[in-house]
Chain A
């Protein structure tokens, strides 16, 4: 069974379109994340949710809107796509930070977004 899954795996679209990426985890974790990896492999956190509540919201354009219908799902909606949005988007989940420190984050396979 896949622990963290994302759909779609590939997404090619035109500038100005709106698109969504879905993420689901079956690990029973409370915390989920979205990361962006650019063409130079640099990985940066965008958002994190804990039990459907937004915890981390980095300086991301407000065209990006995460939505967590329940703690097993965290979707990412992107409005008015721009060329610079082309990247690989990773979803991750963890048990969150406890008394012994941050929990291990488990990553999905990634969604490769190409904006033309």
Chain B
């Protein structure tokens, strides 16, 4: 079975500052990892995913994440955030099937 822990329920940050949203996972099999973003009153949109290969994954809107197998982590980073990045961010894991297990989400609030 797989599980995901997002350690921070809320992350406040000033515009143009760097940000890191933390995600830890557990799995007894190979993992595939995802970050999704949900803007207010919208559905989820894929930011990036790790399936295999390079452990540093680049996604849309300037986000990137690093898969760290030894620390079972997949933290999301952005060097300089914008007001428009204010949203809910979800980390998700799959053990190789279509079933995604989502974390509880991190609310990123960017202040001017």
Contacts and interface: CB of A to CB of B under 8 A. Distances in A.
Range of interface residues on A (Cβ < 8 Å) = 20 to 34
Interface stretch (B19-27, B69-77, B78-86, B88-96): B88-96
Interface string A83-113: 0000000101010110011111111111000
B105 to A, nearest CB: 5
B75 to A, nearest CB: 20
Contacts of B17: none
Contacts of A43: 44, 90, 102, 105
Contact of A44 (B32, B51, B94, B102): B102
A43 B44 CA distance: 10
B109 interface: no
B46 interface: yes
Interface string A23-34: 000000001010
A68 to B, nearest CB: 14
Nearest to A48: B98
A72 to B, nearest CB: 17
16 contacts: A4-B43, A40-B104, A41-B104, A42-B104, A42-B105, A43-B90, A43-B102, A43-B105, A45-B99, A48-B98, A92-B43, A94-B98, A101-B51, A102-B100, A105-B100, A107-B36
Interface of A: 4, 31, 33, 40-45, 48, 50, 55-56, 90, 92, 94, 96-97, 100-110
